């Protein structure tokens, strides 16, 4: 609660609270502040105090007032390129009104809003990932002679050969026919996605992306100047009728998909949809990027486009930050042979090589079976967490828009979750509102929860209280 002090008035404190959230991107450009009366009730202050605070925010250039609509977080000129008249790119038509600053949840990973479990996080809690074999792997890779050798020379451009052999064997278990020479390591899966985009696309190209989908992917492609074509994601896969229309009208160059444990719905691709999607890609000559970030949580027999396609038009992307070592930032891609050199050239321009000693340590974890056993433990623990979180969500009046599966739940709340997220920040919880996962801004009553971080009944009690107050 705000408490008046000799050095700072209530309006100054309230202004500082909102200003801090705006500057930390917890309130994104375009986000609407609570109405004056609603904010006064939430904060336990007078209407005049809120008016004074909002006036101060406006004077600082952080918000703008719109007649009969309220106050909105201002679009910062420093956060977007200058566009004028006809030079304005078509990509901004889809993404300019993004419902929340995509890096907000990422910043929350580095600077938590409190020490409470965060329902909006996209990763496992750190204590889930603690292992005894990672230090041993690092010691193996950094013995005195090895550390000196690895530190004084650049690593292999495509990545450590031992790791690429281990990855080829892993992909073989998924029925994806990749030779070590088709694999390129990267600084996390996100860099792999970026390298692919920079290699295959040019500003103005059309890219199909699943919706709802990963907010960072929308923002990343927008920053590169691409035109985003959102494809509705259904329980069996992408809406192929919408994709076919896009192909006829816009000739897209790329489709980005999460086949297994789709984020945020948890859906998995059905074989029939996968076959029809590959036929569409062949007929219209676009490439497919299959982001298999959650592969270690899924059974090997789950349908994957790259297994059916044989790495002809599809490129496989995955990594180990979610399941093993976020700080190591080791990812990789497996590509059709003719794309390996162009993709490698882009990697060289961006990072030269990737850290060899971490890749050697990871190869040891895979070869010794440590990663496999660790993933089995995580899956077992996640199954229990999912069951508990699901029970709590249902008990507090929520429903699931998709069958609970994988790490995330797609939850129907019955209220505008973007407004709810602002209220939960006051209670120390960072929420992932549903609007964050759509290319165009629109009120949404869905939210994405992390099953590993929503087992605490205290969160659900706070959630229900604030939601009911909004009703």
Under the banding of pLDDT at 50, 70 and 90, the label for residue 391 is very high
CA distance 236 to 259: 9
448-454 mean pLDDT? 97
Which CATH code is given to the segment(s) 10-79? 1.10.10.10
Is domain 130-370 annotated with CATH 3.40.640.10?
yes
Report whether pLDDT(100) > 90: no
The Cα–Cα gap between 257 and 291 comes to 6
Handedness of CA 374, 377, 383, 384 (dihedral sign): negative
d(CA 443, CA 462): 22
Q: How many CB atoms are located within 10 Å of the residue 267 CB?
A: 24
CB 400 within 8 A of CB 409: yes
Average pLDDT, the chain: 89
The dotted CATH code for 99-128+373-470 is 3.90.1150.10
Q: What is the mean pLDDT of residues 130-149?
A: 84
| Residue-level pLDDT at 424 | 92
Q: How far apart are CA 31 and CA 98, in angstroms?
A: 9
Q: What interhelical angle do 133-141 and 356-367 show, nearest 10? A: 130
What one-character DSSP code corresponds to residue 32? B
Ranking 66-75, 176-185, 289-298 by mean pLDDT, the lowest is 66-75
Predicted pLDDT of residue 195: 97
Domain boundaries, the chain: 10-79, 99-128+373-470, 130-370
Q: Is 249 exposed, middle or buried (0-12, 13-18, 19+ CB in 10 A)?
A: exposed
Query: How many separate helices (H) and strands (E) can be counted in the chain?
Result: 19, 14
Residue 460 confidence class, pLDDT cut points 50, 70, 90: very high
Instruction: Tell me the per-residue pLDDT of 155-164, one tens digit each, with 9 for 90 and over.
Output: 899 999 999 9
- Return the residue matching tokens 């923002």: 219
**pLDDT higher for 98 or 294?**
294
What is the pLDDT, as a whole number, of residue 102?
A: 58
| pLDDT above 60 (res 118) | yes
Is the pLDDT at 84 greater than 70, yes or no? no
Dist CA 13 CA 443 (whole Å)? 29
Q: What is the pLDDT of residues 219-271, one digit of tens each?
A: 889 889 999 999 999 999 999 999 999 999 999 999 999 999 999 999 999 99
Task: Give yes or no for residue 416 having a pLDDT over 60.
Answer: yes
From residue 175, how far is each of 161, 171, 189, 206, 351 by CA, in Å? 21, 6, 20, 30, 30
């Amino acid at each position: 609660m705000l408490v008046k002090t000799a050095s700072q008035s209530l309006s100054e404190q309230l202004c500082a609270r909102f200003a801090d959230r705006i500057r930390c991107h917890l309130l994104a450009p375009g986000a609407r502040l609570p109405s004056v009366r609603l904010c006064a009730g939430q904060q336990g202050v007078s209407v005049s105090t809120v008016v004074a605070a909002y006036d101060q925010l406006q004077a600082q250039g952080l918000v703008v007032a719109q007649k009969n609509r309220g106050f909105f977080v201002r679009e910062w000129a420093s956060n977007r390129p200058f566009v004028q008249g006809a030079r304005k790119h078509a990509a901004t038509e889809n993404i300019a009104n993004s419902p929340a600053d995509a890096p907000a949840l990422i910043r929350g990973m580095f600077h938590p809003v409190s020490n409470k479990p965060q329902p909006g996080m996209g990763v496992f809690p750190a204590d889930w990932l603690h292992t005894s074999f990672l230090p041993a792997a690092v010691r193996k890779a950094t013995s005195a002679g090895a550390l000196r050798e690895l530190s004084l020379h650049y690593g292999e451009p495509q990545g450590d050969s031992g790791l690429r052999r281990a990855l080829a064997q892993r992909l073989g278990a998924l029925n994806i026919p990749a030779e070590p020479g088709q694999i390129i390591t990267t600084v996390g899966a996100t860099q792999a996605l970026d390298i692919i985009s920079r290699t295959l696309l040019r500003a103005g190209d059309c890219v199909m992306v699943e919706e709802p989908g990963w907010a960072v992917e929308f923002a990343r492609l927008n920053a590169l100047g691409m035109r985003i074509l959102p494809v509705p994601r259904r329980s069996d896969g992408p809406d192929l009728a919408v994709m076919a229309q896009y192909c006829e009208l816009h000739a897209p160059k790329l489709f980005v998909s999460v086949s297994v444990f789709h984020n945020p719905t948890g859906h998995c691709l059905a074989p029939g949809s996968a076959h029809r999607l590959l036929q569409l890609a062949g007929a219209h000559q676009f490439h497919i990027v299959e982001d298999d970030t959650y592969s270690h949580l899924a059974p090997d027999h789950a349908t994957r486009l790259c297994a059916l396609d044989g790495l002809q038009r599809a490129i496989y992307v995955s990594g180990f930050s979610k399941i093993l070592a976020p700080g190591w930032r080791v990812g990789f891609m497996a590509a059709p042979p003719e794309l390996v050199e162009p993709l490698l050239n882009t990697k060289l321009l961006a990072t030269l090589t990737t850290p060899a000693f971490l890749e050697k340590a990871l190869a040891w974890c895979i070869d010794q079976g440590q990663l496999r056993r660790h993933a089995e433990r995580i899956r077992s623990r996640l199954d229990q967490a999912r069951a508990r979180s699901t029970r709590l969500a249902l008990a507090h009046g929520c429903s699931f828009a998709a069958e609970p599966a994988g790490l995330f739940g797609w939850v129907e709340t019955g209220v505008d979750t973007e407004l709810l997220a602002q209220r939960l920040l006051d209670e120390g919880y960072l929420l992932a509102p549903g609007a964050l996962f759509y290319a165009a801004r629109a009120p949404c009553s869905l939210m994405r929860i992390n099953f590993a971080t929503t087992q605490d009944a205290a969160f659900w009690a706070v959630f229900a209280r604030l939601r009911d107050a909004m009703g």
